[in-house]
Structure 1
Amino acid sequence: MTYNLSDFGSYTVAGRLHEVTEGEPRNIQFTRSASYNYDPKGRFAVEHAYVQYFVPAHRNNAPPIVLVHGGGMHGSTWETTPDGRPGWINHLVRSGYETHVIDNVERGRSGFATGIWEGDPISRSQQEAWTLFRIGPIEGFSTRTPFENGQFPAQAFDTFSRMQVPRWLTTTPLHIAALVAVLKRLGPAIVICHSQGGEIAMDAMAEVPDLFAGFIGIEPSTRLSDPGLIASVPTVLFAGDFLDIDHRWRERLQNWTDWVTTARKHGGKATLVRSAHDVRSGHTHMPMLDHGNEECLSTCLQALM
């Protein structure tokens, strides 16, 4: 694909300066031929988020779009799919949307800092991702055999695994602060969030509701806590298939259904997009990487407008 951009680049938001006062200097060998005396004490920039942005040459009139990844992921969620197809960033820019992609605190290009967050980071195994993201049954993992009609590029699953990163479980408030900072920088924007990103976005909305021009939640892992909060924000929730494999997914589907119903009762514009009914069957927890990902995105955007 060819893209005409008027601007692209990156910036960081939020974070703080952290003073380290303990530790002893030591000599370290940082390349084969160079060493120096390293002092672990000093002032360090921590807890910021990295954001990359793309402004099409022929920008449409819609508000900017901010992409918020899920747990154990980073901004590559929205980039090239594991099997090499264009991702949602590509489709958005081609459609004229100014697009901002977050690598949230301690993920991707935001980096991480040791010793300042409670607990240890966790990593998701391939087996857990295969079943949790509803790509296929556990007995199909070794042969990369997905569910029947599954749209995830299962033979590229190992490549997908390289898109996942360790995550802390105690940094959500920092993620919320970073998203709020992005929105304050941009003004009202459409937020597209995935999984854990749904909780982050909803909490950010509670803080700066006027900066949400729209909310698209891709299987958000949160409940609607304040119906009045989203009454003025056009909302779309996307639900994939194979939700009957586990009671937790069945419960989430009910939550999403209740969310939309409640929002409508409070005068809001809200839509639940069910992939099998509104797009095609076989979509997983990762529709932005599935076959037919562009159709999933366009259906959500059309429902929002």
Structure 2
Amino acid sequence: MKLIAILLITIAMAVGVNAQNQRRKNLQKPLVIETQGSFAVGGSIFTAPGNFEVANALKPDGQTFHGDHAYVFYQVPSKARKLPLVFLHGAGQSKKTWETTPDGREGFQNIFLRKGYGVYLLDQPRRGEAGKSTVEATIKPTPDEQFWFTQFRIGNYPDYFPNVQFPKGKVSLEQFYRQMTPNTGAFDANIVTDAVSQLFDKIGDGILITHSQGCGAGWLTAMKNDKVRAVVAYEPYSGFVFPKGELPQPINSTGLFGALSGVEIPLADFEKLTKKPIVIYYGDNIAKEPTSVWNKDHWRSGLEMARLWAAAINKHGGDAKVVHLPDIGIKGNTHFIMSDLNNVQIADLMADWLKEKGLDK
């Protein structure tokens, strides 16, 4: 009888949670979008030698090729705030990073539209809907998804980390795997930043939101274009830049990619980063000390380098902050903080920072 009672209580609790979630969904007001659309930005054009002839239209002679642009999808809500948000994804990803979560909840795209921000989602050059690359690449169907499960700190496959915020279940995991997309040409940070910078030239002042590999391109864009008013970065690993003569020693790691090194740049370029506020967020299950658990140690080196980088910016009069979420009581987040189960809380944290910096008008 006791077992039956426990089962009934458990079922009742589950039904209650589901009912609460359904009520929350029902209470969501319709999104009111004033304008939306899409366009390409950046890129280059080359022309094949010779002269185009209609009779031989399949020959490349004299024909043009447009490539290496970014693809942008945007939505602007009614009564939008002054500064829009520009979202740039990380490696192996596309604008899908910021859209609906693997388990079907609203992602940052909708969350920040509801908060009154115009939202611009990018597919970087040679990725996703911006796949028209000017360089050749071979795309091999390599089975590697269990590596990414582990690398992104969802757990140590097949085990999830305890209390992980990633939405568990076969369907969610399949959706997550299917959102990965390959490069159609080699990653080129200069081509990416040229396109993102041209987007800011087109739309004006805004805030750049980056993830993972996209964070390095984010710093370069912020140095390249004054219209980037602030940068929010989620779990950067590579691309940390330091003034000439201030490059820290590489940080060793048992991660599969070896030691992490910074990049030295002229002081005049670095100082451009000190003119705008920057915040960096890292999730949970990152080692505090060197460890043989390679995924935790890999991200330990990234977090340590980020702290050195922020300190260098602040030393030169800037405003940079690194937030390790467990240190402020937010636990269980993966590398994909923006789509974890607590992504509304994470979005609120970012919104509070924007308000603190006077960027929410």
TM interval, shorter chain, is: 0.7 to 0.9
Picking from 106, 123, 135, the partner of 1:117 is 135
1:45 maps to 2:66: yes
CA distance in 2, matches of 1:40, 1:157: 45
Contact 1:189 1:211 in 2 (8 A): yes
When residues 166 and 124 of structure 1 are mapped into structure 2, their CA distance, relative to the original with a 3 A threshold, is farther
Q: What is the TM-score when the length of structure 1 is the normalising length?
A: 0.86
Contact 1:68 1:191 in 2 (8 A): yes
Please identify, of 267-276 and 128-137, the stretch whose mean Cα deviation from structure 2 is larger: 267-276
CA distance in 1, matches of 2:328, 2:227: 29
Contact 2:66 2:132 in 1 (8 A): no
Structure 2 gap segments, 5+ residues each: 1-27, 51-55, 244-269, 288-292
- Residue 277 of structure 1: how far off its partner (Å): 2.5
> Which stretches of structure 1, 4 residues or more, deviate above 4 A after TM superposition?
121-124
- Residue 229 of structure 1: how far off its partner (Å): 2.6
Say which SS state the counterpart of residue 191 (structure 2) adopts: helix
The residue type paired with residue 196 of structure 2 is: L
Measured on the aligned residues, the alpha-carbon RMSD in Å equals 2.2
Q: How many residues align?
A: 283
> Which residue matches 2:337?
287
1:131 maps to 2:140: no
> Which residue matches 1:163?
179
> Which residue matches 1:239?
282
CA distance in 2, matches of 1:193, 1:70: 7
Structure 1 gap segments, 5+ residues each: 23-36
Contact 1:240 1:283 in 2 (8 A): yes
CA distance in 2, matches of 1:52, 1:75: 9
> Which residue matches 2:252?
none
1:300 maps to 2:343: no
> Which residue matches 2:119?
99
- Residue 159 of structure 1: how far off its partner (Å): 0.7
Say which SS state the counterpart of residue 242 (structure 1) adopts: coil
Q: What is the TM-score when the length of structure 2 is the normalising length?
A: 0.73
Say which SS state the counterpart of residue 134 (structure 1) adopts: coil
CA distance in 2, matches of 1:266, 1:124: 45
CA distance in 1, matches of 2:91, 2:81: 31
- Residue 40 of structure 1: how far off its partner (Å): 5.3
Please identify, of 123-132 and 175-184, the stretch whose mean Cα deviation from structure 2 is larger: 123-132
Which of structures 1 and 2 has the bigger CA Rg?
A: 2
> Which residue matches 2:228?
212
Say which SS state the counterpart of residue 200 (structure 2) adopts: helix
- Residue 295 of structure 1: how far off its partner (Å): 1.1
The residue type paired with residue 233 of structure 1 is: K
- Residue 158 of structure 1: how far off its partner (Å): 1.2
Please identify, of 229-238 and 121-130, the stretch whose mean Cα deviation from structure 2 is larger: 121-130
- Residue 165 of structure 1: how far off its partner (Å): 0.6
Say which SS state the counterpart of residue 102 (structure 2) adopts: coil
- Residue 224 of structure 1: how far off its partner (Å): 3.4
